[in-house]
Amino acid sequence: MDSRVTIFENLISVKQQKGAGYLILIDPDKQSPEKTVQRAIDSEQNGADALLIGGSLLFSTQFDHLVSKVKEKLKIPVIVFPGSLRQISSYADAILFLVLISGRNPNNLIGEQVLAAPIIKALGIEPISTGYMLVESGRATAAEYMSNTRPIPRHKPEIAIAHTLAAEYMGMKLAYLEAGSGADLTVPNEMIYAVAKNVTIPLIVGGGIKKPEEAYEKVKAGASFLVTGNVLEEKSDFGLIRAFAQAIHHLEK
């Protein structure tokens, strides 16, 4: 990766060349540090375009050290997906600067962001401003519980459109439709299509995606980036990672 190119520009290039990008999310609380590093290596070797690391909770006190160990082994970008201020690392290539626009909890709209901004500046991490939206998924998720917010009803795509337009108009670089870790139901394809048709910023979709075919359908509906996490924790299957990558990279020869 050209060091003169930002991580955001790199992601956009992946989308343009491959049709969509594949991001694998690793939650440090779900496995040992050794397994986290190995899973990161396996993700890169089998087609992931970037690694997201973070979670709604964090029991480990070694987050910064863990990110450094992962970064040592990878050429693809390592991007923090923060659940709190404790999840900021100087070793990451970038951080999703999340604003939980689907909620009305002021702490997740501006409070945490104000506290995090000087730290991110001091550490020199690339911030990628992201409008983050929780979508109803059939069960209460950790993100919903910890943020004390309600998700967007899955049968109300117009609400998702309005929120994503607001993110775009406020200058955010990405929008993220999230069903949640271990979701029973994924973000509806109809919602993805409706949002993608009405905005110009790239759309990340994640939560509950268990099959490559599901990922492909979401890309065809308009998702720019697909995120998988839990399904790969449940099945340590390199072939499954490759199958997801092939389904998502539908323009790649």
Instruction: Tell me what pLDDT residue 2 has.
Output: 59
Q: State the average pLDDT for the chain.
A: 94
Residue 2 counted as domain residue: no
Residues 6+ apart with CB under 8 A from 49: 11, 14, 18, 21, 22, 23, 76, 77
In whole angstroms, what is the distance from residue 41 CA to residue 35 CA? Answer: 10
- Is residue 147 predicted with pLDDT exceeding 80? yes
Which pLDDT tens digit goes with each residue over 25-34? 999 888 889 9
pTM of the model: 0.96
Structural domain harbouring 67: 7-248
Residue 1 counted as domain residue: no
- Is residue 178 predicted with pLDDT exceeding 90? yes
- Is residue 236 predicted with pLDDT exceeding 70? no
- Is residue 76 predicted with pLDDT exceeding 80? yes
Identity of the residue numbered 53: I
In whole angstroms, what is the distance from residue 20 CA to residue 222 CA? Answer: 9
Residue 66 counted as domain residue: yes
Do 100 and 117 touch, CB atoms closer than 8 A? no
pLDDT band for position 1 (cuts 50, 70, 90): low
Residue 40 counted as domain residue: yes
- CATH number at 207 reads 3.20.20.390
Mean pLDDT across the stretch 137-149?
Answer: 93
Do 146 and 83 touch, CB atoms closer than 8 A? yes
Residue 14 counted as domain residue: yes
Do 126 and 88 touch, CB atoms closer than 8 A? no
Q: Which stretch of 15-29, 68-82, 113-127, 233-247 has the lowest confidence by average pLDDT? A: 233-247
Per the structure, how many domains does the chain have?
A: 1
Q: Angle 63-69-74 (CA atoms, 0-180°, nearest 5)?
A: 120
Which residues are registered as beta bridge partners of 157?
Answer: none
- Is residue 234 predicted with pLDDT exceeding 80? no
Identity of the residue numbered 141: T
The SS3 call for residue 69 is helix
Residue 219 counted as domain residue: yes
Please say whether the dihedral angle defined by the alpha carbons of residues 230, 209, 54 and 101, taken in this order, is positive or negative: negative
Residue 217 counted as domain residue: yes
Which pLDDT tens digit goes with each residue over 24-73? 999 988 888 999 999 999 999 999 999 999 988 888 788 999 999 999 99
Mean pLDDT across the stretch 186-196?
Answer: 98
- Is residue 231 predicted with pLDDT exceeding 80? no
Cβ atoms < 10 Å from Cβ of 250:
13
Residue 134 counted as domain residue: yes
